[in-house]
Chain A
Amino acid sequence: MTDLPTLTRPESSAETLEVIRERAAWLRRRSLQMVYAAKLGHPGGDLSAADILATIYFGVLRYDPTRPAAPNRDRFIMSKGHATGIIYATLAAAGYFPVEELNTYMQPRSRLNGHPNRTYLPGIETNTGPLGHGFPVATGIAIAGQISGADYRTYVLVGDGESQEGSNWEAAMTAGHRGLKNLTLIVDRNRLQQGSKTEDTCGLDPMDAKFEAFGWDVEMVDGHDHAQLLDVLGRPVGDREKPLAVIANTIKGKGVSFMENGVKWHHGIPNAEEFEIAMKELA
Chain B
Amino acid sequence: MAVEAQNDRPMYDCRNAFVETLEALAATDERIVAVANDSVGSSKLGGFQKKFPERLVNVGIAEQMLVGAGAGLANGGKIPFVSAASCFLTGRALEQIKADIAYSDTNVKLVGQSSGVAYGELGATHHSIEDFAWLRPLTNITTIVPADPWETAEAVKWAAAHEGPVYIRLSRMPVPALEIAKRTFEPGKAELVRDGSDLTIIACGTMVHLAVGAAEILAAEGVLARVLNHSTINPLDEAAILQAGETGAVVTVEEASVRGGLGGAVAEFLATHRPVPIEIMGFPGFAPTGSVEWLFAQNGLTAEGIASAARKALSRKDT
Contact = CB atoms under 8 A, between A and B. Distances in A.
B72 A139 contact: yes
A258 B33 CA distance: 51
Contacts of B74: 140
Interface string A120-133: 00000111111011
B103 to A, nearest CB: 5
A137 B68 contact: yes
16 contacts: A75-B75, A119-B105, A126-B104, A129-B99, A135-B68, A136-B72, A140-B68, A140-B70, A141-B73, A142-B72, A143-B73, A144-B77, A148-B77, A170-B64, A173-B60, A177-B60
Given A143-B57, A174-B60, A174-B65, A127 B99 contact: yes
Interface of B: 33, 54-55, 57, 59-60, 62, 64-65, 67-78, 80, 95-96, 99-100, 103-106
A223 B77 CA distance: 32
A166 interface: yes
A127 B64 CA distance: 15
Contacts of B60: 173-174, 177
- What 9 pairs across the A-B complex have the smallest Cβ distances? A140-B72, A144-B76, A136-B68, A140-B69, A170-B65, A170-B62, A167-B64, A141-B72, A127-B104
Nearest to A178: B57
A130 B99 CA distance: 8
Given A128-B99, A136-B69, A166-B64, A144 B55 contact: no
Interface in A217-236: none
Nearest to B69: A140
Given A170-B64, A171-B68, A150 B75 contact: no
Contacts of A130: 95, 99
Contact of A140 (B54, B73, B95, B105): B73
Nearest to B61: A170
B62 A173 contact: yes
A126 B54 CA distance: 24
Given A128-B99, A147-B33, A148-B77, A167 B104 contact: no
A117 B59 contact: no
Contacts of B62: 170, 173-174
B59 A174 contact: yes
A138 interface: yes
Contacts of A141: 72-73, 75-76
B72 A138 contact: yes
Contact of B103 (A117, A148, A170): A117
A137 B54 contact: no
Interface of A: 71, 75, 117-119, 125-130, 132-133, 135-145, 147-148, 150, 166-167, 170-171, 173-174, 177
Contact of B96 (A119, A125, A136, A143): A136
B75 to A, nearest CB: 5
B76 A126 contact: no
Contacts of A129: 99
B78 A133 contact: no
B243 to A, nearest CB: 35
Contacts of A135: 68
A173 B54 CA distance: 18
Contacts of A145: 76
Contact of B77 (A71, A133, A177): A71
Nearest to A146: B54
A148 B106 CA distance: 19
B64 A140 contact: no
A152 B57 CA distance: 19
B286 to A, nearest CB: 25
Given A136-B96, A144-B78, A174-B59, A167 B73 contact: no
Contacts of B69: 136-137, 139-140, 143, 174
Contact of B68 (A133, A148, A173, A177): A133
Contact of B64 (A119, A132, A150): A132
B73 A136 contact: no
Nearest to A165: B64
